[in-house]
Amino acid sequence: MLLIRCPYCGLRDESEFSYGGEADIARPLEPETLTDAEWADYVFLRTNTKGRFREQWVHAHGCGRWFTLVRDTVTHAHGETGVFGGVEPEADG
Amino acid sequence: MQRYSIFSLARNALTGHRNWPQAWRSPAPKPEYDVVIVGGGGHGLATAYYLAAEHGIANVAVLEKGWLGGGNTGRNTTIIRSNYLWDESAAIYEKALQLYEGLSRELNFNIMLSQRGVLNLAHNEHDLKEMARRVRAIRGNGIDSEILSPAEIKKLVPAINVSKDMRYPILGASLQRRGGVARHDAVAWGFARGADARGVDIVQNCEVTGIDRKGGRVTGVRTSLGPIKAGKVGVVVAGHASVLAGMAGFRLPIDSHPLQAMVSEPIKPILDCVVMSNAVHVYVSQSDKGELVIGAGIDSFNSYAQRGSWQIIEGQMGALVELFPVFSRLRLMRSWGGIVDTCPDASPILSKTPVEGLYFNCGWGTGGFKATPGSGWAFAHTIARDEPHPLAAPFSLDRFTTGALIDEHGAAAVAH
């Protein structure tokens, strides 16, 4: 099991979290102007990186907040976390 | 190729089995081929076999970075069935099952197909209704499927717990009697031997590191053994499709996840069909060696590590001992993981690509083994004719743009 450091709650078991997949996929601001191919790119296409990968997790059985995590998809080693739209909190774990 | 038969067995017995020939050659790669297949698992080897056997294209190399069938072909739980909901899936999985039924004879290699039946359990009202719908759809496609009551399930699988005081009681099941298991390694080896006999070069320990293109057309591959020119390239890599697509300059609608499987210590025969449950999420069969072969769902996170997390194993053990309390005394002997490439609609990709002469067969997710011969059959046609085989056409990359998805998240009542 992974041990994941929630930026709000500190180090917790992976089973407290739910996975949100690849990070940095922003919803297009004017979707009605996109072609079908551009829309498919946003909805379906993924980089699916082998190596250091920025991804999203939610502390579902904890504080309920989303954050980003950089994790290596080959070694599972992970470290830096990031929060959405705010100041990085002081982790307590 | 020396044919295997009772006579060749007897003849070789006389010489103490010292003179059996190699089942396939291990040639150095030639500088150029008509078709290069990337990936020497079951699907890649089947593609090469059918290219040679059905389309007369034998100037083919299969490049494998490790050893034959060492990826997901050798890591799955060997279950074969064709009870899929949608017509497109039913067509290709049923084609695969029909090819499996004649495969030992066709390849002159015993793939140990055992059509012992696949049972999909229902645990609540919704499961029962969904199952009835699926069974009708499956039968409508001419594929065998029937519904069993708890009493009939108990008769078929005496070790199962059908009592009403379970947390998730068993209320019924669907059964595909033609479903079952096969020896996964033998499928890869049989196709390899058949392809080799028809002139295909199978090159192991040869990793593809780049895909060469010129003017939007594929011209060859770069490998750990040097560059190889190719008229056409078919990529058949379970677990690394996105990496190979990246080499050719495009992205795929795929996420790679670990899928774990495990076996118990061997015991005397107790379970003579495959039992799967979607609701409590576990599937189990008993191998010829006596081990229980157990699997369930993927780990949620993306990974290329061929290993997963402990709580996934724990969850399916809980489900297993609920269904079969008698198994609670067994020990697990080993567990392992593979990387499965999953698509948003839980259906595979068999497709031409933005690069001319480059074809992808990938995204089989958690259930590719059962499709191996059908996948190779349809993909060989797609490569040979440069147009999708009718069985492959619905699984093209275009579907993610047109929206014509083939949603198999229910996957005929269970994960694979």
Determine contact, residues B290/B266, Cβ cutoff 8 Å.
yes
Rounded to two decimals, the pTM is 0.95
* Cα angle B292, B77, B91; round to 5: 135
Which residues on chain B are in Cβ contact (under 8 Å) with A37?
401
Report CA dihedral (A73, A77, A80, A85) to the nearest 10 degrees: 40
Give the mean pLDDT of B109-116. 98
Task: Give the model's pLDDT for residue B153.
Answer: 98
Window 26-65 of A: residues touching B by CB (8 A cutoff) are 36-37, 40-41, 43-50, 53, 55
Give the mean pLDDT of B167-194. 97
Determine contact, residues B76/B365, Cβ cutoff 8 Å.
no
Q: What one-letter code names the amino acid at A80?
A: E
| A48: nearest CB among B255, B401, B402 | B255
All structural domains of chain A: 3-86 (3.30.2270.10)
Give the mean pLDDT of B343-353. 97
Give the span between the Cα atoms of B287 and B265, in whole angstroms.
11
Task: Give the model's pLDDT for residue B338.
Answer: 97
Which residues on chain A are in Cβ contact (under 8 Å) with B301?
2, 19, 55, 71
Residues 6+ apart with CB under 8 A from B329: none
DSSP string, A7-27: TTTEEEEGGG-EEEEES--PP
Task: Give the model's pLDDT for residue A88.
Answer: 64
Determine contact, residues B361/B37, Cβ cutoff 8 Å.
no
**pLDDT range class, residue A89, cuts 50, 70, 90:** low
Which residues on chain A are in Cβ contact (under 8 Å) with B342?
none
Determine contact, residues B379/B92, Cβ cutoff 8 Å.
no
Report CA dihedral (A42, A43, A49, A52) to the nearest 10 degrees: 80
pLDDT 10s digits, B231-255 = 999 999 999 999 999 999 999 999 9
CA distance A46 to chain B (A): 6
- Burial label for B163, CB within 10 Å (0-12, 13-18, 19+), is exposed
| B252: nearest CB among A36, A45, A75 | A45
Pairing between β-strand B118-122 and β-strand B172-176 as defined by DSSP bridges: antiparallel
- DSSP label at B371? G
Task: Give the model's pLDDT for residue B312.
Answer: 95
Give the mean pLDDT of B34-48. 98
| B301: nearest CB among A19, A40, A50 | A19
Q: What is the mean pLDDT of chain B?
A: 96
pLDDT above 90: residue B77: yes
Give the span between the Cα atoms of B41 and B240, in whole angstroms.
12
Task: Give the model's pLDDT for residue A93.
Answer: 45
Which residue from B minimizes the CA distance to A2?
A: B309
**pLDDT range class, residue B1, cuts 50, 70, 90:** confident
Give the mean pLDDT of A80-87. 80
Q: Would you call A24 an interface residue with chain B, using a CB distance cutoff of 8 Å?
A: no
Task: Give the model's pLDDT for residue A79.
Answer: 82
**pLDDT range class, residue B211, cuts 50, 70, 90:** very high
Which residues on chain A are in Cβ contact (under 8 Å) with B253?
40, 44-46
Q: What percent of chain B has pLDDT over 90?
A: 96
Give the span between the Cα atoms of B138 and B312, in whole angstroms.
31
**pLDDT range class, residue B22, cuts 50, 70, 90:** very high
Q: What is the mean pLDDT of chain A?
A: 91
Q: Which residue has the tokens 């499928």?
A: B187
Task: Give the model's pLDDT for residue B409.
Answer: 83
Least confident span in B158-167, B259-268, B407-416:
B407-416
pLDDT above 90: residue A15: yes
